[in-house]
Chain A
């Protein structure tokens, strides 16, 4: 899976989640709004019902008052008077309540005002009738009653209440329908929203499963890669180790096989040398015979070197010179081969780490070179040095090579001053060997560490092995070394070694 596709997939998931959230918010908002609306609608429906019941209530009170009035007129019984009074008292408050209830509707306000006026008239008629009975004018009262059945007020009341009911009925139908619609809408919104949310959830689950499958695949691939990488590293390490072993074996075998012919060259050269003695002895005796001088009859003793003259002497000297060059070259070659052998042997030696008192170790080295130091008029100063855990023999070789070099390459005529300093830094001990000797040209700084390479005036014996050996040892000990020097300005060799050497500090065969 490419990074691009991964990004697209992540974006898709985020968008999906955002869409789901938006839908949820919209549904919630719509639901709240619709529920509120439906509550309002229901309230209105209830209000309509209340108004209608109030109208009925009012009419009932009026009827009660009417019938009580009539009964009183007919029987003049005081109990009907009391009934009339309670009923009449209830009419106006009921009417007021009706007015206040229907105050939201201008049609009903007009109706209720009309009703109120008619009620006032009707109540006045009732009280007139009652008054007549009280004044014993029952006859008039009955007449009034008879006429009163069809007064305008009664008509108005009946009409008005009918109108009001009709109006409220109309409103009731309207409001019920609205409430129904609202509820329907709410349920539709809820159902649709829920559906959408479920759809989104399903899509999300699908995407999550797809991406988790992709992640599992990537994980297993990563695991495979890791295993492969480890195998590769192991293989390479084994290859390197093998190559290194191969080089060691190669150097070992080559140096041995080179030695074999060298023995012959050296041997037969020596044989030749011996032959040379015999040949020139013969030449000398022949020359003496030819020169007609008295030949020594007892020349066979061969004790004295025969005297040669002229061209014979020249020949003999040339012969000796040639043999001398051959023998010195063989000697040199033998030393080089021995050096290579020693290096390969050193390369195979196992290190034994131990705690080393570095100062004591260097003091020992200094005491072994005390003679050379006094000959060179050199002083060696040792400053406090950090102790380290390392291989004693390797350290001895490193420091004795460096101190030897410092003593060997001093400026003639200048008293030598060699200083050994040490400090620690981040788990490493840093040693510096500084001299005031002849120094090394910066262009030779790399060269001096190469095998069989030397730099500067070649006035001291040496094979060019010391520093190569030292650097190989330092590397095997997990350290580094460097040189800082200018021609005629002295040199400083810096050796950095781990304070605690152990086998894991390096590749085993490094």
Chain B
């Protein structure tokens, strides 16, 4: 990623967060990763104090989102991000254990850009994350406000 894109990782399981981070780093992505372990903190960060998302105007963000969070549902976060005029262009990668077809369909309908199911098999998991990292290194991310 040419411009300094910040990766927002919303993942309640710290183990998962660690494994994801490791594998992204292994694929050679060195962008800043801001981890959040619950939805509320992540929303506060994303939308700022005034709740408009104006804070991130001009910043390029990429969101890695888990659907099963302790306080809010990842789907809610996805919806709010895609409804916000500053954040709606931010790519959202849903990375979760759920492989229910209804859930996947719903996420894409709400504007999720990539949906990845976490495989239990670690080789597949590591592989998936590394490929995601490779993907991160080539995609163009627009700044948060146009």
Encoded as 1 (CB less than 8 Å from any B CB) or 0, chain A from 250 to 276 comes to: 000000110111111011111100000
Q: Separation in Å of the A267 CB from the closest CB of chain B?
A: 4
Say whether B122 contacts A262, CB under 8 Å: no
Kindly state the separation between the CA atoms of A345 and B103 in the bound complex, as whole angstroms: 13
> Taking chain A's interface residues, is the majority helix, strand, or loop, or is none over half, making it mixed?
helix
Say whether B97 contacts A270, CB under 8 Å: no
CB contacts (< 8 Å) of B98 on chain A: these are 256
Kindly state the separation between the CA atoms of A268 and B120 in the bound complex, as whole angstroms: 11
Q: Separation in Å of the A325 CB from the closest CB of chain B?
A: 16
Say whether B68 contacts A334, CB under 8 Å: no
Q: Is B32 an interface residue (CB 8 A)?
A: no
A264 with B126, Cβ < 8 A, contacts A256-B98, A334-B120 known: no
Encoded as 1 (CB less than 8 Å from any A CB) or 0, chain B from 60 to 82 comes to: 00000000100000000000000
Interface residue count for B (Cβ, 8 Å)?
17
CB contacts (< 8 Å) of A261 on chain B: these are 13, 15
For window 6-23 of B, CB contacts with A under 8 Å fall at: 13, 15-16, 19, 22
Q: Separation in Å of the B91 CB from the closest CB of chain A?
A: 23
What residue of chain A has the Cβ atom nearest to residue B118's Cβ? A263
A264 with B123, Cβ < 8 A, contacts A256-B97, A256-B98, A259-B97 known: no
Which of A263, A269, A271 counts the most B-chain CB atoms under 10 A from its CB? A263
Q: Is A44 an interface residue (CB 8 A)?
A: no
Kindly state the separation between the CA atoms of A257 and B66 in the bound complex, as whole angstroms: 13
Say whether B15 contacts A267, CB under 8 Å: yes
Query: What size tier do the contact residues of chain A reach?
Result: 10 to 19
Say whether A260 contacts B16, CB under 8 Å: yes
Say whether A259 contacts B120, CB under 8 Å: yes
Say whether B126 contacts A263, CB under 8 Å: no
Kindly state the separation between the CA atoms of A264 and B120 in the bound complex, as whole angstroms: 8
CB contacts (< 8 Å) of B19 on chain A: these are 263-264, 267-268, 271
A262 with B120, Cβ < 8 A, contacts A256-B97, A256-B98, A257-B68 known: yes
Kindly state the separation between the CA atoms of A264 and B121 in the bound complex, as whole angstroms: 10
CB contacts (< 8 Å) of B125 on chain A: these are 263, 266-267
Encoded as 1 (CB less than 8 Å from any B CB) or 0, chain A from 346 to 379 comes to: 0000000000000000000000000000000000
CB contacts (< 8 Å) of B119 on chain A: these are 263
CB contacts (< 8 Å) of A345 on chain B: these are 100
Kindly state the separation between the CA atoms of A384 and B126 in the bound complex, as whole angstroms: 53
CB contacts (< 8 Å) of A259 on chain B: these are 97, 118, 120
Encoded as 1 (CB less than 8 Å from any B CB) or 0, chain A from 309 to 337 comes to: 00000000000000000000011001000
Kindly state the separation between the CA atoms of A270 and B125 in the bound complex, as whole angstroms: 11
A264 with B68, Cβ < 8 A, contacts A256-B97, A270-B126 known: no
Kindly state the separation between the CA atoms of A6 and B118 in the bound complex, as whole angstroms: 74
The 8 closest A-B pairs by CB, nearest first: A264-B15, A270-B122, A267-B19, A334-B120, A259-B97, A266-B122, A267-B122, A262-B120
